[in-house]
Amino acid sequence: MSKLRFVNCLLISTAICFFLPSIAARGGHSDYIYPGDGNSSFHVTARNLFAQEETRPSLELTRGYMTNDDLEKAMKDFTKRCSKISRLYSIGKSVNGFPLWVIEISDRPGEIEAEPAFKYIGNVHGDEPVGRELLLRLANWICDNYNKDPLAQMIVENVHLHIMPSLNPDGFSIRKRNNANNVDLNRDFPDQFFSFNEDLSLRQPETMAVMTWLRDIRFTASATLHGGALVANFPWDGTEDKRKYYYACPDDETFRFLARIYSKSHRNMSLSKEFEEGITNGASWYPIYGGMQDWNYIHGGCFELTLEISDNKWPRASELPTIWDYNRKSMLNLVASLVKTGVHGRIFSLDQGKPLPGLVVVKGINYTVKAHQRYADYHRLLAPGQKYEGLMFFPHIQLKIRVIMFVSV
């Protein structure tokens, strides 16, 4: 049995308190597409029906938004301008062959480090373009400020931030929700309750690209940006019996904490009359199936929120600077929460200094966080102000240990 040395098993304090003072979103109330219990033809039909009812925004309204070519150029220009702290890569292509570009921001972009990674995805729905605009602003803001702003600096130095402004460039180019095959990408992931889209050959290239991405990069948390409401949504998104009620996932408390970071750092999300504190459990709002959020948490080990950032899906482009201003602190604070809260560490054996990639389980929470295979770093997000009892398993050396974790306020 190896002796263990806990390196950097930090009990990181949480001082997240940057508190500042409709609906067709995840989404869309017209979007009650229930899985056809294994009958995928039902599903495709339902998607098409919904798509036909869609009204497209006028061309006039889209003026001032970046086209796909503009966005691609802006991303390339960004990684040239900020080459020290960023790189550009693509995770695949859309149905029509447009690259799905990602900007990675870090002081060591492209390298694997013993640090948590966060991803932002925008424009999952082609007709929700605000997110893609804000994500480019976020990247530029971090580049302009990481030498002077402590939060930006913390992100660059301690997190690998991956930003994908558009998962659905094809939908965007025709100003429609679905992708070029008329599939809603936020209904195309494997579902925990209903096996209605298990057929790999029917899975969309955009969905496949995200699924492969999560095999390559170990993300600790993420958020997708949608439009049509103003609320921070967290798992579960669906219920086993398709009815609508609050359905808590094992990490409900942590998710509520993360969602609150977003809503309370936002200029007015938490003032919502519809959603208490500006946050909601997905299933209690309206259940969806095949969504990206729950899949990330279950299969990707990644705590994902679905953020609805604007009641109006296509606000006039002149309003974008204001919306960015409303969201900036939230976007930064959510990423920084990966460093400021939870329990993080690395585990090595004392005899040979070998990394020991264990499994971390917190008593009372049925969820396993895996340490990185090569670097043995683990990042276990937890709501602050509590003492947790944890277990670490090292299956390959048949060792189990008990640890007490404090996550202070």
Query: Which amino acids are annotated catalytic?
Result: 308
Distance of CA 356 to the CA centre of its chain: 28
Does position 271 interact with ligand NAG (CB under 6 A)? The reply is yes
Closer to ligand NAG by CB, 58 or 268: give it. Answer: 268
Contacts with Zn ion, 155-194, as mask; x by CB under 5 A:
----------------------------------------
Taking alpha carbons only, the member of 336, 317, 288 closest to residue 30 is: 288
Chosen residue from 47, 218, 226, 379 binding Zn ion by CB under 5 A: 226
Closer to ligand NAG by CB, 54 or 311: give it. Answer: 311
Residues 6+ apart with CB under 8 A from 25: 128, 226, 227, 228, 229, 308
- Which helix (H) or strand (E) segment holds residue 345: the answer is strand 343-349
Virtual torsion, Cα 163, 165, 167, 172, nearest 10 deg: 180
User: What gap in Å lies between CA 275 and CA 40, rounded to an integer?
Assistant: 33
Closer to ligand NAG by CB, 39 or 48: give it. Answer: 39
Q: How many CB atoms are located within 10 Å of the residue 311 CB?
A: 15
Least distance in angstroms from the C-beta of 330 to ligand NAG = 13
Whether 74 and 138 have beta carbons less than 8 Å apart is answered as: no
Least distance in angstroms from the C-beta of 56 to ligand NAG = 22
Taking alpha carbons only, the member of 143, 29, 37 closest to residue 83 is: 143
Phi, psi of 362 (to 5 degrees): -100, 130
Whether 382 and 13 have beta carbons less than 8 Å apart is answered as: no
Residues 6+ apart with CB under 8 A from 216: none
> Binding partner of residue 41 among ligand NAG, Zn ion, none, CB under 5 to 8 Å per kind?
ligand NAG
Closer to Zn ion by CB, 115 or 128: give it. Answer: 128
- Which helix (H) or strand (E) segment holds residue 307: the answer is strand 303-310
Q: How many residues bind ligand NAG (CB under 6 A)?
A: 8
Whether 93 and 99 have beta carbons less than 8 Å apart is answered as: yes
Which part of the chain contacts Zn ion (CB under 5 A), choosing from 221-229, 240-248, 256-264, 366-374? 221-229
Which part of the chain contacts ligand NAG (CB under 6 A), choosing from 39-47, 64-72, 300-308, 346-354? 39-47
Does position 8 interact with ligand NAG (CB under 6 A)? The reply is no
Does position 27 interact with Zn ion (CB under 5 A)? The reply is yes
Counting every residue written for the chain, the total comes to: 409
Coil, strand or helix: which one is 282? Answer: helix
Burial of 301 (0-12, 13-18, 19+ CB in 10 A): middle
- Which helix (H) or strand (E) segment holds residue 226: the answer is strand 221-226
Which part of the chain contacts ligand NAG (CB under 6 A), choosing from 25-33, 36-44, 167-175, 236-244? 36-44
Least distance in angstroms from the C-beta of 121 to ligand NAG = 23
> Binding partner of residue 27 among ligand NAG, Zn ion, none, CB under 5 to 8 Å per kind?
Zn ion
Give the ranges where 266-394 is alpha helix by DSSP (H): 282-285, 292-299, 320-340
Chosen residue from 19, 34, 42, 193 binding ligand NAG by CB under 6 A: 42
Q: Which residue is nearest to Zn ion (CB)?
A: 226
User: Binders of ligand NAG among 173-232, rule CB under 6 A?
Assistant: 230
Coil, strand or helix: which one is 17? Answer: coil
User: What gap in Å lies between CA 108 and CA 208, rounded to an integer?
Assistant: 27
Chosen residue from 13, 83, 268, 386 binding ligand NAG by CB under 6 A: 268
Chosen residue from 30, 39, 83, 212 binding ligand NAG by CB under 6 A: 39
Does position 125 interact with Zn ion (CB under 5 A)? The reply is yes
Which part of the chain contacts ligand NAG (CB under 6 A), choosing from 34-42, 98-106, 279-287, 347-355? 34-42
Closer to ligand NAG by CB, 94 or 265: give it. Answer: 265
Does position 52 interact with ligand NAG (CB under 6 A)? The reply is no
Tokens 């389980």, residue located: 361
Closer to ligand NAG by CB, 14 or 263: give it. Answer: 263
Applying CB under 5 A, which residues contact Zn ion? Answer: 27, 125, 128, 226
Residues that bind ligand NAG (CB under 6 A): 39, 41-42, 230, 268, 271-272, 366
